[in-house]
Amino acid sequence: MNLIRISHLFRAYFIENKKQLLIFSLVVFAAAVLDLTISYQAFLSAVFASFVTFVLAARVFQPSLKRNNSTHFFNLPVTTGEKLIVATVFIAVVSTVLFLLYTAGAYTGYYGLRPILNPKSINAYAERGFSVVALWDTQLYLFIAVALSVFLFGSIYFKKNAFAKTLASGVGFFIGIIFYQLGLLRIAFGSLNNLANIDTELVVKLRDFEFVANYHTIPIVLILFFLSLTYLRLKETEV
Look at the pTM and tell me if it is higher than 0.85: no
* pLDDT per residue rounded down to tens, the chain (239 residues): 677 777 878 887 788 888 888 999 999 999 988 888 877 777 788 888 889 999 999 988 887 776 665 555 666 677 888 888 888 998 999 998 998 898 888 888 887 887 777 766 555 554 455 555 545 566 778 888 899 999 999 998 888 888 999 999 888 888 888 877 777 766 766 665 555 555 554 455 445 554 444 566 788 888 999 999 999 988 887 76
Nearest to 61 by CA among 181, 156, 127, 193: 156
Q: Which residues 6+ apart lie within 8 Å of 55 measured at CB?
A: 151, 163
Alpha-carbon torsion (199, 202, 204, 207), positive or negative: negative
pLDDT of residue 28: 92
pLDDT of residue 71: 56
pLDDT of residue 134: 45
pLDDT of residue 151: 93
